[in-house]
Amino acid sequence: MKSWQKTAVALAIATFAGAVAAESMPVRGTGDYSWDSLKPFDSMDFSGVTITVAGPWLAPENGYIRRALEPFEKATGATIKYSGSDSFEQQILIDAQAGTPPNLAIFPQPGLAADLASRGYLTPAPDKVRQGVLDNYAAGQSWVDLATYADKSGKEQFYGVFFRVDVKSLVWYSPDNFDEYGYEVPETLEELMALSEQIVKDGNTPWCIGLGSGAATGWPATDWVEDLMLRTQPASVYDQWVSHDIRFNDSRVVKAIETFGEIAKNDDYFPAYASKDLGKPVLGSGTVAAITKPTKATEALLEYLLTPLAHELWMEKGGFLTANKLVNTDLYKTDTERAMGDILLNATTFRFDGSDLMPGAIGAGAFWTGMVDYVSGASAQSIATDIENAWKELEK
């Protein structure tokens, strides 16, 4: 028995067919699902073939991913076995090194996938999958870039499909309060800052920002800085910052921190700057599916994950967002999720949470504590320099 299978047994995860039985799959051709997207797979015959899939999802989400994959099984005759683990990041590396990986792995962040690609443990995706992402995803080039990593020889290759993503570029507000005071929802960052000033003039407090999160205190502030980097600089500069190709105390980074301070350190909402012509960038996170043990059936399954049907079957269960432009957004479980899905579909650029891509000692260490120091009174320049020095020490 392979190690990923042992993990599945230890976690008492049911077989694909058993779990799906409890998920009340809709009958093909019924409802408002994109059944037509399943047609290309009807001509594929993978009878007797088993495809193993590993990922981070446990109950109830393991049932949702099985539900999303069942139409592929019925169309092709393949059997899919999914195993989820709360220690996926460690287990997938162990299995890859042992030569016993699953066919398909679903990574909770691209940094881990990039690491395995650099060690030669991932197989590049077929060209038609890459083209499918470009054609079918809003801000398609962003999603291709996020799944493109250097292989063992250093050559950049495209590896995967983002399946289930999250949005971080959100500002929550009270519609009742806005109605009471006659405020309009701002559509640009300039309007947002002007509204903040107006709320202060009206004797109210415009913002409530919490940075406390136990051992992770400070992370909300890092998201603000990342969002503001995307709204004050081109995406290429954001990428250079995340990869440390520009210094952390670069003037453009310091300015983003100071812009956050105009809100967080003001005693008296996240759209884009209209004047900067940088489009509609969105910050978020997501899971990327990539091939760790290639077979023809696995390549077909990766292609299936691009279909709107695969997304819709989880969307209606809740807790699932997608940038796939072909999905029926009426199938989102809640109006809130539909609104967040619209943000993704209207995005011109998507970037992954920067601190999650930085080395752990920086993104989940010096950056967190530095932002707490900044809100407590330190200057943007000094904390940015402290973080830069910490990064330089790490690279020695």
pLDDT for the residue numbered 87: 94
For 263-305, how does the pLDDT look when each residue is reduced to its tens digit (9 = 90+)? 887 654 856 777 777 888 999 999 999 999 999 999 999 999 9
Non-local (6+) Cβ contacts of 84 within 8 A are 8, 11, 13, 54, 55, 56, 57, 58, 61, 62, 65
Provide the pLDDT for residue 266: 61
**Residue type at 110?**
P
Show the tokens assigned to 73: 């099984």
Tens of pLDDT, residues 98-145: 999 999 999 998 989 999 999 999 999 999 999 999 999 999 999 999
The pLDDT, as a whole number, for residue 23 is 62
Q: How many angstroms separate the CA atoms of 325 and 341, rounded?
A: 10
Q: Kindly report whether the global pTM for this prediction surpasses the value 0.95.
A: no
For residue 191, which phi and psi values (nearest 5 degrees)?
-65, -35
All residues at 6 or more sequence positions from 329 whose CB lies less than 8 Å from its CB, including other chains: 338, 341, 342, 345
Which pLDDT belongs to residue 275? 75
Give the C-alpha separation, 130 to 160, whole Å.
Answer: 8
Give the pLDDT confidence score for residue 176 in this predicted structure. Answer: 95
The chain-wide mean pLDDT, for the chain, equals 92
pLDDT of residue 270: 58
Burial 342-362 (b: 16+ CB within 10 A, else e): ebbbebebbbbbbbbbbbeeb
Residue 22 pLDDT class (50, 70, 90 cuts): very low
Q: What mean pLDDT is predicted for residues 65-87? A: 97
* CA end-to-end distance (rounded Å), the chain: 42
